[in-house]
Amino acid sequence: NAHRIAVIPGDGIGKEVVPEGLRVLDAVGQRFGCAFHFDTFDFASCDYYLEHGQMMPDDWKAQIGGHDAIFFGAVGWPETVPDHVSLWGSLIQFRREFDQYVNLRPVRLMPGVPTPLANRAPGDIDFYVVRENTEGEYSSIGGRIFPGTDREVVVQETVMTRIGVDRVLRYAFDLAQRREKKHLTSATKSNGISITMPYWDERVEAMAPHYPDVRWDKYHIDILTAHFVQHPDWFDVVVASNLFGDILSDLGPACTGTIGIAPAGNINPERHFPSLFEPVHGSAPDIAGKFIANPVGQIWSAALMLDHLGEREAGAAVVRAIEEVLARSEYRTRDLGGTAGTTECGEAIADAVLSG
Amino acid sequence: NAHRIAVIPGDGIGKEVVPEGLRVLDAVGQRFGCAFHFDTFDFASCDYYLEHGQMMPDDWKAQIGGHDAIFFGAVGWPETVPDHVSLWGSLIQFRREFDQYVNLRPVRLMPGVPTPLANRAPGDIDFYVVRENTEGEYSSIGGRIFPGTDREVVVQETVMTRIGVDRVLRYAFDLAQRREKKHLTSATKSNGISITMPYWDERVEAMAPHYPDVRWDKYHIDILTAHFVQHPDWFDVVVASNLFGDILSDLGPACTGTIGIAPAGNINPERHFPSLFEPVHGSAPDIAGKFIANPVGQIWSAALMLDHLGEREAGAAVVRAIEEVLARSEYRTRDLGGTAGTTECGEAIADAVLSG
Ligand SMILES: CC(C)[C@H](C(=O)O)[C@@H](O)C(=O)O
Ligand SMILES: CC(C)[C@H](C(=O)O)[C@@H](O)C(=O)O
């Protein structure tokens, strides 16, 4: 029974790193005997937009809604399409319409990856950011009045729902409970964002007693970013609103060396809809077309996808292969101080899976 | 003609570091012959709240509105008063009612301060965060419907006005223009926060042509936090909304070693109202009462206040005294790996001002 995967390369380096992810998945198929059926789609890209005037066809949900997962590259080409148009017309649609309410982002210091932090070694940094992925600060409610005048006012609503907050908190508490340290950190800003954020805190406090074995704490987002830099070893599972999770899941990987290796799972835990797996980095127009992008974020995303599909052994093998290859300097891409190209790095990881 | 200063120690370590700031200002008075008149107020503290049921007296504006500046410690004691009550009843009131629309926060790697970043030396990191300080994400508009049910929804409005955005951008462009590098970075998130943030970008683009000699760029807040860690040398002046500026001005100082030394000026550039000077760190209940807090943030805030009062020579002397003392390990507090107490460090800086 083949896993049916919708493949969406998107824009920029998405088109360069997705093939490396597929290369590794092919290797996984050979090594572990799991079968994949890939369908590739050209929508959710700015090229598609320029041709059709919209980011996706009207029936996009029918086209990919029946797949077991979406393997996604990156979207955005601001030179031709403003980011809020391209993103709201694709990625943010997927997250919302497929109710992928958890954005799961591992942060781990890998062997061989130079970290900007002093005195940190692999093993010191190993945690998850659990980001709310459908509501909060990313709302589409708001607008502008008195445009072009001195009275101009622009407003945008942050929206938190009981259902939306509780379900992501539950996922995070569950995850923390399964881990060794059983430690949950909540990102807040209730001292400044005085309506929605105290509500977030309230829901955390209401849920905590159901997880008596999970130790939890909370920090305001400002000092939390400081702690990421100064004490990344403090964290195990960090749960955050849509915006705060977005920030923390770029900052965390930066502390471990590069966002080029960071993966993300946009997950619908109930499996009513396909989940989407993508690297945290975007389309990176500045280095697109040169085949120098780091494919590890995309490949690690494939590992997260394998976990989600129930292929846990294969997922673990891919992560091991990544670690093996990163430990050897000759396959590191430029963002890691190496000289390897996208393909060389991808091939090395695929080989490591095959021989691993 | 004495400068009239309203002194508000507030809560926690605010009460421990403010006296050190005053000690240094006394030294400044002796050394530079400038005169200060200090009035100390017990409001804007949680003790005051517990006694009076509100953070400040009804006539607080009359009591401090005529002063030349406010020298502020920190507010907040969450064990007895929720943070959003104590902060919105004091600090956020000051910022808004005294129209302190610029929050100016220098980020500088000082000699002798251990940084969590590898391979960074004094001189490498030296920039300003200019934070919008009166509107944006810190709005008081919003509320809750269907409380206690599964339909519960909580909303909060972000509000940006043409006047509010333009004036802080102008301040930031002006500052960049006066600096050697003439480089302005704008923090945005227009790809996700799709109504207010594209507006912010639009206003930056409208203002830039008036400053042809200022080189400017923009980054989404998620990758910008990554760049703070990976490339802090890229920045000169960083302008940001209220929330983004809040985050960046804790993260920046963390990258330079500690938020214990970071100062802030809450500035009304037109001088219609007193400006307020405070350390970036808060009341720090965990270390309060032990006199181990680092007083440098408070003392550096005094230097910013001196600049604002036109005592530039004295302000520069205080910064030099801080640098001198930090370079000598015996006066460093624990957050810097030293063993000195709050008072020892403060006395050393005051002495350095006197003999400097
Ligand atoms: C205490 C809090 C409300 C405040 C803020 O968020 O503005 C603080 O973090 C600051 O940066 O001055
Ligand atoms: C591209 C952008 C809209 C997106 C987000 O903010 O969610 C990205 O930064 C991410 O983290 O997936």
B233 inside 8 A of chain A by CB: no
Q: Between B84, B194, B223, which is nearest A88 by CB? A: B194
Per-residue model confidence as pLDDT tens digits over B68-119 = 999 999 999 999 999 989 999 999 999 999 999 999 999 999 998 999 999 9
Q: Is the CB of residue A191 below 6 angstroms from any atom belonging to ligand 1? A: yes
Same domain for A244 and A134: yes
Same domain for A34 and A146: no
B307 to A212, A334, B106, B265, B352: CA distances (angstroms): 52, 44, 13, 10, 19
Q: How far is B259 from chain A (nearest CA, A)?
A: 8
| Local confidence pLDDT in tens for the 356 residues of chain A | 799 999 999 999 999 999 999 999 999 999 999 999 999 999 999 999 999 999 999 999 999 999 999 999 999 999 999 998 999 999 999 999 999 999 999 999 999 899 999 999 999 999 999 999 999 999 989 999 999 999 999 999 999 999 999 999 999 999 999 999 999 999 999 999 999 999 999 999 999 999 999 999 999 999 999 999 999 999 999 999 999 999 999 999 999 998 999 999 999 999 999 999 999 999 999 999 999 999 999 999 999 999 999 999 999 999 999 999 999 999 999 999 999 999 999 999 999 999 98
Contacts with A161 from chain B: Cβ below 8 Å? 152-154
Q: Of A255, A282, A300, which marks where a domain is finished?
A: A255
Same domain for A88 and A30: yes
Asked if residue A44 is part of any domain, the answer here is yes
* CA atoms lying within 13 Å on the CB side of residue B96: 15
Same domain for B109 and B19: yes
**Assigned token pair, B247:** 């985050």
Asked if residue A233 is part of any domain, the answer here is yes
Q: Give CA–CA dist B339/B335, Å, rounded.
A: 9
Same domain for A281 and A237: no
Say how many C-beta atoms besides its own lie within 10 A of residue A320's C-beta. 14
Q: Which ligand is nearest to the CA of A74?
A: 2
Q: Give CA–CA dist B85/A152, Å, rounded.
A: 30
Same domain for A130 and A96: no
Per-residue model confidence as pLDDT tens digits over B105-155 = 999 999 989 999 999 999 999 999 999 999 999 998 999 999 999 999 999
pLDDT at position B356: 82
Residue pair B183/B189 in contact (Cβ under 8 Å)? The answer is no
CATH number at residue B77: 3.40.718.10
Same domain for B291 and B225: no
Tell me the β-bridge partners of A159.
A136, B155
The parent domain of residue B230 ranges over 139-239+250-255
Q: Dihedral through CA A172, CA A124, CA A228, CA A111, nearest 10?
A: -100
* CA atoms lying within 13 Å on the CB side of residue B306: 27
Q: Which of B232, B264, B251 is nearest to B123 (CA)?
A: B232
Same domain for A277 and A164: no
Q: Which residues of chain B have pLDDT under 70?
A: none
Asked if the Cβ–Cβ distance from B87 to A191 is below 8 Å, we say yes
Task: Supply the residue whose CA is at minimum distance from atom 12 of ligand 1.
Answer: B280
Q: Which ligand is nearest to the CA of A249?
A: 2
pLDDT at position A82: 92
The count of domains in chain A is 2
Asked if residue A116 is part of any domain, the answer here is no
Say how many C-beta atoms besides its own lie within 10 A of residue B312's C-beta. 12
Mutate to test the pocket of ligand 2, among A85, A94, A246 (most ligand atoms within 8 A of CB): A246
A291 Cβ partners below 8 Å, 6+ apart? A16, A341, A342, A343
**Assigned token pair, A96:** 């919302």
Residue pair B79/B238 in contact (Cβ under 8 Å)? The answer is no
Per-residue model confidence as pLDDT tens digits over A110-121 = 998 999 999 999
The 3-state DSSP class for residue A42 equals coil
Contacts with A144 from chain B: Cβ below 8 Å? 195, 199
**Residue whose entry in the numeric block shows the structure tokens 């200019």:** B130
Task: Supply the residue whose CA is at minimum distance from atom 3 of ligand 2.
Answer: B192
What are the residue ranges of helices labelled H in chain A?
Answer: 14-32, 46-52, 60-64, 83-88, 91-97, 162-178, 196-207, 221-230, 242-255, 296-308, 312-326, 342-355
